[in-house]
Amino acid sequence: GKRIAVLTSGGDSAGMSGAVRAVVRQTLASGGVAYAVYEGYQGLVDGGSMIKQMRWEDVRGWLSEGGTLIGTARCKAFMERAGRLTAANNMVEKGIDALIICGGDGSLTGADKFRSEWPGLMEELVSSGKRTENEVRHHKHLNIVGLVGSIDNDLSGTDATIGCYSSLERICQSIDYIDATAFSHQRAFVIEVMGRHCGWLALMAGVSCGADFVFCPENPPSENWEEEMCGIIKKHREMGKRKTIVVVAEGAHDRQLNHISPNMVKDLLSNKVGLDTRVTTLGHVQRGGPPCAYDRMLATLQGVEAVKAVLESRPETPSPVICIVENKIVRKPLVDAIAKTKEVAANIAKKDFAAAMKGRDAE
């Protein structure tokens, strides 16, 4: 049977363990041999016991676990060709030539690069005497399939990434807790949420919690945002509101790309509006913990689809990434999805916010 390995890479997200479970079990159900690579690409470079064969019962109970039980890491060695050569050697040793990666756009970029280099890496393993011609004969092509695991919901081409709804859920619960005390004391809270380049969490938390104002990177506020924000919040207070919630994404900035920090917002609310204001940085609580039902479903359906994509792949098929579009699980060319994602960041960098927003809409 086909030998298929799965790894999780980049920042952790809720549902990654469920994705591993789905890949392992679908591989076994298709008559294949399943492997889990521990600690992301580092495990691929280190090889040996870091690439572990998985049995059905090894992933029992993983669907409801938060984060990733096979670990994740940022791996410098894999950024270099030499590291990828070592990784390829470790894979050939175990007879693996199919890899399913659950991670963010960086991890998927690395995966695609690995695939395009693969034939050259095989030649080098033979010419350097590390492997025999016979050993690499059945591994002429590397099969790569991407699963998007990220709390940020930052990949173009998919409606939701594995983990984003769990994070959103946790943020909303946290804001509900803060709401109670804010109301009691008539206070204002500035809440910083994760999202360096993507404001999805901030925007959706704002919508879901009825925030008074939201700052997100793709859609910076108007030039005179200070007066605008203070005006809106004063109006809400005049209408009888006892609490104020402002959500600030980590990567929030103005139209000149000057960072907007929670403390800047706090000072405005204290000094210009006269509110007793506190800052709360939600931090790692918002990485999610146990996955919500949606993320369990997404991880399972997409993990199964990833194995099917491996089994149906031809050498000429571009590497797919598994997406969800209008509630359907679909495969898309991985390189396209990454290129579109990078385009949004490039548009923000050149202050073309209309184009950045359009890129997000197309998701």
State the residues that interact with ligand ATP by CB under 6 A. Answer: 9-11, 41, 74-75, 78-79, 103-107, 109-110, 113, 150
| DSSP string across 63-93 | GG--S-TT-----SGGGSHHHHHHHHHHHHH
303, 23 contact by CB (below 8 A): yes
139 has binding-site annotation: no
**In the complex, least distance from residue 278 CB atom to ligand ATP, rounded to whole angstroms:** 29
> Is there a binding annotation on residue 152?
yes
Whichever of 52 and 113 has its CB closer to ligand ATP, that residue is 113
Q: Which is nearer to ligand ATP, 269 or 356 (CB)?
A: 356
**Surface-to-core class of residue 107, CB atoms within 10 Å of its CB (0-12 exposed, 13-18 middle, 19+ buried):** buried
Which one, 116 or 222, has the nearer CB to ligand ATP? 116
User: Minimum Å distance from CB 261 to ligand ATP?
Assistant: 21
Q: Is 222 left (phi over 0), alpha (psi -120 to 50) or beta?
A: beta
Question: Which residue has its beta carbon closest to ligand ATP?
Answer: 106
Q: At what angle do helices 200-209 and 164-185 cross, to 10 degrees?
A: 50
Closest CB to ligand ATP among 11 and 71?
A: 11
Q: How many whole angstroms separate alpha carbon 81 and alpha carbon 177?
A: 48
Q: Is 250 annotated as a binding residue?
A: yes
For residue 299 the two structure tokens come to: 């991880």
- The answer to whether 278 is a known ligand-binding residue is yes
Q: Measured from the CB of residue 75, what is the shortest distance to ligand ATP in angstroms?
A: 4
Q: What are residue 244's DSSP bridge partners? A: 188
284 marked as binding residue: yes
Does the annotation count 267 as an active-site position?
no
Residue 124 marked ligand-binding: no
- Measured distance CA(298)–CA(265) in Å, rounded: 36
Write down the least CB distance from residue 183 to ligand ATP, Å: 35
The nearer residue to ligand ATP, 104 or 206, going by C-beta atoms, is: 104
Choose between 105 and 169: whose C-beta lies nearer to ligand ATP.
Answer: 105
- From the number of C-beta atoms within 10 Å of its C-beta (0-12, 13-18, 19+), residue 354 rates as exposed
Q: Using only C-alpha atoms, what is the Rg of the chain?
A: 23
- Closest approach, Cβ 167 to ligand ATP, in A, equals 12
Question: How many angstroms separate the Cα of 298 from the Cα of each of 96, 163, 229?
Answer: 26, 9, 37
Catalytic residue (choose from 152, 154, 212, 295): 152
Q: Is 286 annotated as a binding residue?
A: yes
Is 200:154 a contact under the CB 8 Å cutoff? Answer: yes
Q: Which residues contact 4 (CB under 8 A, 6 or more apart)?
A: 23, 27, 32, 33, 34, 35, 96, 98, 99, 100, 307, 310
Q: How far is the CB of 74 from ligand ATP (least distance, A)?
A: 4
Please give the C-alpha separations between residue 213 and each of 7, 174, 191, 225, 266, in angstroms, as whole numbers: 39, 17, 11, 11, 12
Binding site members for substrate: 150-152, 187, 194-196, 250, 278, 284-287
Binding site members: 11, 74-75, 104-107, 150-152, 187, 194-196, 250, 278, 284-287
Binding site members for Mg(2+): 105
Residues with catalytic roles:
152
